[in-house]
Structure 1
Amino acid sequence: MSYNSYRHRHYNISKTKARNYAQEMEDLEQQFDQLADWSLSSMKDSAYKYFGDFEIRLSNHSANNQYHDLENGTLLINVKLSKLHFIEFIENELDSLLKKLNDIELTKYRFINVVDTHINCFYKEFKTKKDVFTYDRKGQQKH
């Protein structure tokens, strides 16, 4: 039985699966080394790129106030997806998301969470008030 100290969980995994996963994580790190302006977290569970007015964070878990200033800092756009899909998203879907974000008045929001095709934009000075937009992850935007 193995223990994931980051997630505080025990789990069973075969040595073959553990070896394959370790290789996938090493490959992920090497792919990010070749991407301009992207940084990968030490746990390889989040990737960041700064776009001037906002920062995009690809992650397999939600952002929280412990590590990010979701009220006053740079607008954080959290895209929730598997870390094994980070590169695929950057290569195939990021442009579509950026086009949709270009149509949204981002200055009204303190935090944006993207899950699947939904863009949840949380208003400044409100805890749960939000606007929800949708977009086509493969290029064509929905209204």
Structure 2
Amino acid sequence: MRLIGFGRCGALLLLELFAALIAASGASAAALENVSEIGPSLIQCWHPPAAPDGSAVTLRFGFRRDGSLMGAPRVTYISVKGGAALERTFADSAVRAIEQCSPLQLSPRFAATIGGKVYVMQFSILKRQPVIRLMYA
């Protein structure tokens, strides 16, 4: 293919610019390759309420091979100082993060192994930063 009026260098610059625009728009998000990449992917969607350090909620959930959720995430543990309303808001924010980030973009190899597995992840605030860690799969 030849772009008229640009020459070889101009065409390469145009292609690089186009690739950069696609990457910046998020249109070409990298597919997840393994279970350790699920937490970092979900943290982009988690917007916890202001809660004290050490606040945590543990959720149990699963994904289908297409990356969609298998049912609603289930709260299995919660520890948030500040009363029942803050506990509920904190737990809801973690559930909402999983729902909003789904379906996950999975590599074909990872998709073949994820279906039907139950994952347990803890969403917590440590040193004033949101953290998601895999408990077990």
Q: What interval of TM-score do these two structures reach, taking the shorter chain for normalisation?
A: under 0.3
Comparing both chains, which one has the higher relative contact order based on Cα–Cα distances under 8 Å and sequence gaps of 6 or more?
A: 2
Q: Which is greater in Rg?
A: 2
Larger strand percent: 1
Larger helix percent: 2
